Structure 1
């Protein structure tokens, strides 16, 4: 993982990756420096063996092997010092993803638009060799000599991996490519793009050309939560990132997230976390984050 200049609280800005695509392999890699990195690209870690902890935003995920970790663009992550990893790190940007056939878009949307629900995917022992083979094949292709259509070949392998990964996700396995499922994915896409300027369910429903009631039914059918919960969860996640990893005043964070006042934002944040924004930030300062 490459990184560059520090950003606020020892957070590193990711360097630009050639062609917005990279895959690397690690064998018994011991993490010597626990650097905090803000992802500018989407990531999939395939871990065959390992131990330690992966921190993503404010979550701690134990590493045990035969699993995947998904990191979405904009998330902040680091490995605990002395974690040991064997496996692959697959990185791709949005512009590279556009090379993949459209038929894989549904898989990516479900996996990465609901990234917090898909951060760690356990792979059944009987299926792991298949994933290992796919990543090994992609790694070999990536390391080989360049040729005119190589990006298209890499994109084809990425599509297969994304589809196979999507099938690990219970939601994707059970959800047919029906109208409601498409609407749900469109809603997740809109929230990911518009959370900082649109907070109301009715406006999202209007943009989807359905009623707010229909949107509520679709969301509860697919993940058990209403659309307002999904919107608010996105806002809380972004607020936590800003409080942990930037020195922005609470007033500025409130403005960035389109709250009318800092007081309105503080009330909203405390309702969902039981802490004021300043209390939340102070907690991370005390533990040296």
Structure 2
């Protein structure tokens, strides 16, 4: 652990297992290391009173006081110069796989790998102190170096993710107490993340969830969320934007990779949701 006054940095990097965990309480001071592992998921917490702004998938994200953001290895992140101190945690699948352990934390589809692909959560005022105490437990554990050290860090990370997942669930207005419907939304988001290249119809996802298309649409309407079909389309176009911006693949290649039988259908959907053709979007952004 590296400490210097109020600045703290910790890194666990096991070359034998590939396990990676990183913590910093001053992200902008550690950008090169905090973003060094391309396979890591990240949790960012603005504990200060000022705003922290950065770019994620070409969208501007604003973290206000006591706001968290959860990001996956799939996100394209740019952090501009910013004097605001924020806390950040990075971890890869080898350290703790949120997909393999979904039954433990149930965060996929709410915090990670949802259709919008990143979440911004405001901590309720009554939860601020418990989160601060949890960070203190992380800091204390960084001073240990026994055989239980790694397991303890995983346990603390799980507690953090579970607490954030509860906040994320409560953010789904209209059905806060309907845990079955919340679970359906969560599973739908995860299924879209896993299958958007192959499946484009609500009925295909409703079948996997063992409910009717009508019921699935009703759940989203009661939760005051975008319709399921819109969610599928948005996830598809988000991936298209990434490929247009960060690869040299042609529009036809992207269309085929995203599961469209005809490139014109892809271009039509892209323009409907963005107002630009794929080619125009690539030129203007670059």
Aligned residue pairs: how many? 266
Matched, 1:241 2:247: no
Name the counterpart of 1:91.
Answer: 90
Question: 1:67 Cα deviation (Å)?
Answer: 1.9
Contact 2:46 2:85 in 1 (8 A): yes
Partner of 2:9: none
Which segment is superposed worse, 241-250 or 160-169?
A: 160-169
Kept in 2, the 8 Å contact 1:51–1:84? The answer is no
Alpha carbons 2:56, 2:78 under 8 Å: kept: yes
How many angstroms does 1:122 deviate by?
Answer: 2.7
Task: Indicate the residue corresponding to 2:141 in structure 1.
Answer: 141
1:73 corresponds in structure 2 to 73
Deviation at 1:184, TM superposition (A): 2.1
Gaps (5+ residues) in structure 2?
Answer: 1-11
Gaps of 5+ in 1: 1-15
The structure-2 alpha-carbon separation of the partners of 1:40 and 1:176, relative to structure 1 and needing over 3 Å to count, comes to farther
2: CA distance, partners of 1:110 / 1:28: 24
Alignment of 1:221-232 (within 5 A): 221-232=222-233
* CA-based RMSD: 3.1
State the SS of the aligned residue for 1:116: coil
What residue number does 1:48 align with?
Answer: 47
Judge which range, 123-132 or 42-51, deviates more.
123-132
| Aligned position for 1:171 | 171
List per-residue Cα deviations over 1:103-153 (Å, max 9, x = no partner): 422x44322233738532233455333322212322442453141x33332
Separation of aligned partners in 1, 2:243 and 2:155: 36
Task: State whether structure 2 residue 203 is matched by structure 1 residue 202.
Answer: yes
Q: Provide the secondary structure at the position in 1 that maps to 2:47.
A: strand
What TM-score, normalized by structure 1, do the two folds share?
A: 0.79
Task: Work out the CA distance in 1 between the residues paired with 2:35 and 2:153.
Answer: 28
Partner of 2:160: 161
TM-score (normalizing by structure 2): 0.80
CA distance in 1, matches of 2:182, 2:215: 12
Q: What SS does the corresponding residue of 1:247 show, helix, strand or coil?
A: coil
- 1:186-245: CA deviation from partner (whole Å, max 9, x where unpaired): 211111100111111111111222211111112222342221111111101111111111
- The structure showing larger relative contact order (alpha-carbon pairs under 8 Å, at least 6 residues apart) is 1
Partner of 1:11: none
